[in-house]
Amino acid sequence: MHDVITDMGPSFLGSRLKRLAERMQAGAMSAIAHAGLPLQPSHMAVLAALRGGPMTVGQIARAIGISQPGVTRSVGQMIKLGIVADVQVADQRTRLVELSPAGHDAAQKSATDLWPRIGMAAEELIANVSGRFMSDLSIIERALDAESIADRAARARPGGLKIREFEEALASDFHDINAQWISTMFSLEATDREVLENPYATIIDPGGVILFVEAPGLGIVGTCALQRTGEMSLELTKMGVRESARGLKAGEFLLHAAIARAKTLGANPLYLLTNKSCAAAIHLYEKLGFAHDAEIMARYGSRYQRCDVAMRYVQGPRADERRHAPNITKS
């Protein structure tokens, strides 16, 4: 079966990290129980924070980067377990908590035995991960501090761009956008004319898709197709963006939508054919998860005389996805 969360790539990054955290915390829970401690994984950060002395709930929340209600819940549980105790203070508006004697014992046992063993297990997990995994996590966390996912999602739809599905009234846009860029850079081949002049017969009827990107005040500014070339194989083809949309990131917006649609269709493989002179487009394809593939070239490359680059979709967008993408053209 397909792993839906993995297949959806960065769109489901939060869900994938949550799933990973749940798997790791389940293992940590077993290690905690084996150590004889009456605690949960969610208590460990609070325990570590209070080793330095009494703190308010707000101070703990800031120290471990968890919401104050979450910390309040953990503190309440740890008080019931006898690990944390309230500190009597003159100002009744301030709640100060500290480790109890049993809490100090638990912190000492955790620091000298439990945490090092869990740390070694985690190090073993990431030993074969390329790059600096822990440093990369810090980069993501700092980026979220600067701007939330909600704000980034709102910004990720630049200029009010929206995706449109194929309809008869848009057939001329599909033809004209592609005919213009192909004729400018190369020359229309027989396979181009067949597709552009017969989109229903060549794309839609066999189970493919044609998408458009629309910009306020400009109308349809770009298009692309997913053409079935086998039972599961899909070719990302006939993708072009009008010069009037330059700077709007319309091509990148459209390419994201096309990849997402291909995933829902179970594309295997999802591939594209282009020419090395389309350097800006190739850079964008690489950025969003396509890789050069000799097998794809051997199997499908002869379709176009101009084809000297073949790429297969292999993964989600790279970490530098936020950079501006140039105007796209391809076969």
- Asked whether residue 73 falls in the same domain as residue 215, the answer is no
Non-local CB neighbours of 197 within 8 Å, separated by 6+ positions: 175
Share of the chain above pLDDT 70, in %: 92
- Domain annotation covers residue 74: yes
- Asked whether residue 239 falls in the same domain as residue 255, the answer is yes
Task: State the residue range of the domain holding 286.
Answer: 158-313
Q: How many helices (H) and strands (E) does the chain have?
A: 15, 10
- Asked whether residue 144 falls in the same domain as residue 63, the answer is yes
- Domain annotation covers residue 237: yes
What is the side-by-side strand order in the sheet with 290-292? 162-165, 209-215, 219-228, 234-241, 270-274, 309-313, 290-292
Give the domain-ending residue among 154, 184, 211: 154
- Asked whether residue 234 falls in the same domain as residue 256, the answer is yes
pLDDT of residue 120: 86
- Asked whether residue 125 falls in the same domain as residue 202, the answer is no
Under the banding of pLDDT at 50, 70 and 90, the label for residue 322 is: very low
Exposure of 153 in the CB half-sphere (CA atoms within 13 A): 7
For residues 56 and 270, give the distance between their C-alpha atoms in angstroms, rounded to a whole number: 53
Under the banding of pLDDT at 50, 70 and 90, the label for residue 316 is: low
CATH classification of the domain holding 101: 1.10.10.10
Q: Is the pLDDT of residue 101 over 80?
A: yes
Q: How many domains are there within the chain?
A: 2
For residues 266 and 290, give the distance between their C-alpha atoms in angstroms, rounded to a whole number: 16
- In this predicted model, what pLDDT tens digit does every residue of 196-205 receive, in sequence order? 999 999 999 9
Contact 223, 213 (CB under 8 A): yes
Share of the chain above pLDDT 90, in %: 67
Mean pLDDT of 218-227: 94
Which amino acid belongs to residue 124?
E
- Domain annotation covers residue 322: no
- Asked whether residue 166 falls in the same domain as residue 180, the answer is yes
For residues 232 and 188, give the distance between their C-alpha atoms in angstroms, rounded to a whole number: 27
- Domain annotation covers residue 325: no
Q: Which two tokens stand for residue 105?
A: 């014992």
Contact 320, 287 (CB under 8 A): yes
Exposure of 56 in the CB half-sphere (CA atoms within 13 A): 10
- Domain annotation covers residue 240: yes
Helices marked H in the chain — which ranges?
4-7, 13-34, 41-50, 57-64, 68-80, 101-109, 115-126, 133-146, 149-155, 171-185, 190-197, 199, 250-264, 279-287, 294-300
- In this predicted model, what pLDDT tens digit does every residue of 133-182 receive, in sequence order? 888 888 888 888 888 887 776 665 556 888 999 999 999 999 999 999 99
pLDDT of residue 158: 58
Give the domain-ending residue among 111, 136, 154: 154
- Domain annotation covers residue 133: yes
- In this predicted model, what pLDDT tens digit does every residue of 74-98 receive, in sequence order? 999 999 999 999 998 877 777 899 9
Under the banding of pLDDT at 50, 70 and 90, the label for residue 190 is: very high
- In this predicted model, what pLDDT tens digit does every residue of 15-69 receive, in sequence order? 989 999 999 999 999 999 999 999 999 999 999 999 999 999 999 999 999 999 9
- Asked whether residue 127 falls in the same domain as residue 164, the answer is no
- Domain annotation covers residue 179: yes
Q: Is the pLDDT of residue 319 over 70?
A: no
- Asked whether residue 47 falls in the same domain as residue 192, the answer is no
Residue among 250, 17, 271 nearest 133 (CA): 17
CATH classification of the domain holding 276: 3.40.630.30
- Asked whether residue 199 falls in the same domain as residue 308, the answer is yes
- Asked whether residue 8 falls in the same domain as residue 145, the answer is yes
- Domain annotation covers residue 32: yes
Q: Is the pLDDT of residue 2 over 80?
A: no
- Asked whether residue 8 falls in the same domain as residue 149, the answer is yes
Quote the mean pLDDT of the chain: 88
Dihedral over Cα of 32, 38, 41, 45: its sign: negative
Instruction: Output DSSP code: residue 234.
Output: E
Under the banding of pLDDT at 50, 70 and 90, the label for residue 326 is: very low
Cβ neighbour number for residue 98 with a 10 Å cutoff: 14
Q: Is the pLDDT of residue 247 over 90?
A: no
Q: Is the pLDDT of residue 324 over 80?
A: no
Instruction: Output DSSP code: residue 112.
Output: I
- Asked whether residue 148 falls in the same domain as residue 174, the answer is no
Cα–Cα distance list, 37 to 45, 122, 273 (Å): 14, 20, 59
pLDDT of residue 210: 97
